[in-house]
Amino acid sequence: MESRGFVEPPASQQLWHEITEFHEAGKVLSKVTTEELQAITDDEQITAFSITLEERQLKLKLATANDEQDWDKYSVPPKMR
């Protein structure tokens, strides 16, 4: 949505902002430390993906760096693809 020069951020960026806002609210209202919030976030990351954030980022980085073009799909004539 664009209004007066404002462009709505992509979903992942919007989610990041929402999570950050919840962290800040938690710190203000409950006197929770950043370290405690980070520990909770890390636990949820492991629950959701079975790996740490660092491991997941490395895995994604390596996957894109090592992917090669699969040319086999072009062996089939275009009308049969």
d(CA 78, CA 54): 41
For residue 75, the model assigns a pLDDT of 74
**pLDDT in the model for residue 34:** 82
pLDDT at 2: 46
Q: What is the pLDDT of residue 69?
A: 65
Asked if 50 and 58 count as a contact pair (C-beta separation under 8 A), the reply is no
User: Along the chain (81 residues), what's the average pLDDT of each consecutive run of 10 residues?
Assistant: 57 82 82 84 86 85 68 70 58
